[in-house]
């Protein structure tokens, strides 16, 4: 491996490991590191090999520049970090983990320092491209790195706090048992519930960007980002549904679902998960979200699921938390968003 320059983010990394960007040949070892860590930390969800393969295909966040793997002397991956950022976006998002055998040794601090340094680079690169094109300058308040962690993982909270991060949001994981009566739904005249499929990929993407433009922390999803949704290995179009305005053909709302069989086996119950639920502003207040969730529960139950689940911003501006509670969802876990202004 070449020696990094002084301004290279790799200078922050622990020298006991050999570091390089993730590549196709690393998929098995990278996935094995995440699985080893998950076996100890017991997260609600973690990335598998097929998820990592999608990440390696990213054009917007190429892994050659935005990922790092640390190998011990035997060639075992012991830590990783990666970064994503939308061009012109006001934040970067960091991901990573350290092998349980190496936790507490300082490796995690180095990965976090690498993420921060790479975030500064990404913002500088975006600002330079904007200047070259004559576009407006990047945000004046400077680069920001966001990290996500489950509330149960106190060791991560301690590290983030020591590094100057602050809690900016809480998210609730909510479950709803599917045995017994399920809520009924009825849509207004002129609204129709339809199945989700390739024909609706782009209309639903546009509806999602419209529905979430007033949500905290949300940024528009371009075609690549949307591809991560519709091509997710756990995506279940058969458990998803869309509400369409029959007069205009416009997508009014949508519920996109997934099912992870491996996670279900580990948790001891089958779970239909609502990845995304949204209703366009002009259609809110007409019971569309309730109808979509009721239909999701019906489909989940018919597919043999034990629970319906979803995550929600605890301060969601549309009153989603109250709706979910009304439909029988209860909070079972929380995750936290941490920010640092760099």
Per residue of the chain (342 residues), what is the pLDDT tens digit? 445 554 678 788 999 999 999 999 999 999 999 999 999 999 999 999 999 999 999 999 999 999 999 999 999 999 999 999 999 899 999 999 999 999 999 999 999 999 999 999 999 999 998 888 776 554 556 899 999 999 999 999 999 999 999 999 999 999 999 999 999 889 999 999 999 999 999 999 999 999 999 888 899 999 999 999 999 999 999 999 999 999 999 999 999 999 999 989 888 999 999 999 999 999 999 999 999 999 999 999 999 999 999 999 988 766 789 999 999 999 999 999 999 999
Does the domain at 172-336 match CATH 3.40.630.30? Answer given as: yes
CA 262 to chain centre: 18
| CA–CA distance, 176 with 163 (Å, rounded to integer) | 37
DSSP string for 249-273: --EEEEEEEE--HHHHHHHTS-EEE
3-state secondary structure 64-117: HHHEEEEECCCCCEEEEEEEEECCCCCCEEEEEEECHHHCCCCHHHHHHHHHHH
Name the architecture of domain 9-164. Answer: 3-Layer(aba) Sandwich (3.40)
Spatial CA neighbour of 205 closest among 288, 121, 119, 278: 278
Residue reference for tokens 């309730």: 290
- Domain limits, CATH 3.40.630.30, in the chain: 9-164, 172-336
Q: 185 in helix, strand or coil? A: coil
Distance (Å, whole) CA 333 – CA 309: 11
The token pair at 134 is 């004559």
Q: Are 141 and 341 in contact (CB under 8 A)?
A: yes
45 Cβ neighbours under 8 A, 6+ residues apart? 260, 263
**Residue 147 pairs with which residues in a beta bridge?**
94, 338
**Rg of the chain over all Cα atoms, to the nearest angstrom:** 21
Q: Which of the 8 DSSP states describes residue 239?
A: G
The predicted pLDDT at position 317 comes to 62
Please tell me the distance from the alpha carbon of residue 281 to that of residue 286, in angstroms, as a whole number.
Answer: 11
Rounded to an integer, what distance in angstroms lies between the CA atom of residue 203 and that of residue 254?
10
Q: Return the residue matching tokens 């099912």.
A: 259
Which helix (H) or strand (E) segment is 280 a member of? Answer: none
CA-to-CA distance for 127 and 125, rounded, in angstroms? 5
Neighbouring residues of 116: CB distance < 8 A, sequence distance ≥ 6: 12, 145, 340, 342
pLDDT at 7: 61
What is the model's pLDDT at position 141?
Answer: 65
pTM here is 0.90
Q: Show Cβ contacts of residue 194 under 8 Å, excluding neighbours closer than 6 positions.
A: 200, 241, 242, 243, 244
**Token code pair at residue 210:** 């419209």
Residue-level pLDDT at 12: 84
Q: Which of 117, 107, 104 is nearest to 69 (CA)?
A: 107
Question: Which residues are CB-neighbours of 338 under 8 A, at least 6 positions away?
Answer: 146, 147, 148, 149, 160, 165, 166, 167, 168
């Amino acid at each position: 491996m070449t020696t990094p320059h002084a301004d290279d983010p790799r200078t922050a990394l622990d020298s006991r490991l050999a570091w390089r960007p993730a590549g196709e040949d690393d998929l098995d070892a990278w996935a094995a590191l995440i699985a080893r860590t998950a076996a100890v930390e017991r997260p609600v969800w973690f990335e598998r090999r097929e998820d990592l393969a999608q990440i390696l295909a990213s054009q917007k966040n190429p892994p050659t520049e935005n990922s790092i793997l640390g190998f011990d002397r035997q060639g075992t991956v012991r830590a990783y970090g990666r970064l994503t950022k939308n061009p012109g976006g006001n934040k970067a998002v960091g991901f990573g983990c350290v092998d349980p055998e190496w936790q507490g040794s300082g490796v995690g601090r180095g990965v976090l320092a690498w993420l921060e340094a790479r975030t500064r680079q990404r913002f500088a690169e975006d600002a330079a491209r904007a200047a070259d094109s004559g576009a407006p300058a990047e945000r004046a308040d400077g680069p920001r790195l966001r990290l996500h962690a489950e509330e149960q993982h106190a060791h991560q909270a301690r590290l983030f706090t020591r590094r100057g991060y602050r809690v900016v949001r809480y998210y609730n994981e909510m479950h709803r048992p599917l045995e017994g009566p399920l809520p009924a739904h009825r849509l207004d005249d002129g609204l129709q519930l339809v199945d989700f499929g390739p024909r609706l990929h782009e209309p639903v993407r546009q509806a999602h960007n419209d529905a979430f433009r007033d949500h905290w922390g949300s940024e528009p999803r371009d075609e690549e980002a949307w591809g991560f949704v519709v091509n997710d290995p756990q995506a279940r179009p058969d458990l998803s549904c869309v509400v369409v305005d029959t007069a205009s053909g416009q997508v009014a709302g949508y519920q996109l679902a997934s099912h992870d069989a491996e996670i279900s086996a580990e948790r001891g119950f089958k779970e239909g998960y609502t990845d995304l639920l949204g209703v366009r502003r002009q259609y809110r207040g007409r019971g569309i979200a309730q109808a979509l969730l009721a239909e999701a529960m019906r489909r989940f139950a018919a597919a043999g699921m034990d629970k319906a689940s979803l995550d929600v911003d605890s301060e969601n501006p549309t009153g989603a938390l109250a709706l979910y509670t009304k439909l029988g969802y209860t909070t079972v876990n929380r995750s936290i968003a941490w920010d640092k202004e760099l």
